[in-house]
Amino acid sequence: MRIVLLISVLVATVIAAFAYAKPARFAQAAHVVAGLMREPAASPARTVDIARGRSGDFSLKASINGIAAPMVVDTGATSVVLTHETARAIGLPLEMLTYNIEVETAAGPTRAARVTLDRLGIGGLVERSVPALVVPAGRMKANLLGMSFLDRLESWEVRADRVRLRGYP
């Protein structure tokens, strides 16, 4: 919206300069500007598309608390789940975590610790205070982008070989 306003002011300035020099051109420019002002400004789409990888999953690079981390979209995961290694890399206080949540992973049952991520970003989609779980070292190989993030979006859909994540405007 600010960009549209800035552009409008710049256009108006240019029109004023032309109006003093060439009145006929001013009338034409005024008509064009009036048409632009009648059209609703399109809000930027907050959409991220993720292609299916060779292994069949939807892998992506996320930004967790400002640190890049690989993740896999997992609509079957109730929560975002981080490996112990990623939790360490993003600076979570691992020595203070309590692993008291029972979870079922591809490697079998284990316990996880609840955490809250300050920021989790996927492309232009950024959510704050995202609930997540951390599993002990060696229990998982990949970070999971689960429903505690996906539920915050306007929509998400799987079509053919891509996942589309759409945030609120």
- What mean pLDDT is predicted for residues 128-147? 96
Buried b (16+ CB within 10 A) or exposed e, 11-20: eeeebeebee
Give the 3-state secondary structure percentages of the chain, helix then strand then coil, rounded to 5.
30, 40, 35
Residue 26 above 70 pLDDT? no
Round to whole Å and give the CA distance between 16 and 13.
Answer: 5
Tokens of 5: 């306003």
For the chain, domain boundaries? 2-38, 47-166
User: Which helix (H) or strand (E) is 99 found in, with range?
Assistant: strand 99-105
Tokens of 6: 């800035």
The predicted-structure confidence for 65-119, as pLDDT tens digits, reads as follows: 999 999 999 999 999 999 999 999 999 999 999 999 999 988 889 999 999 999 9
CATH classification number, 47-166, choose in 2.40.70.10, 1.10.1140.10, 3.40.50.300, 1.10.540.10: 2.40.70.10
The amino acid at 136 = P
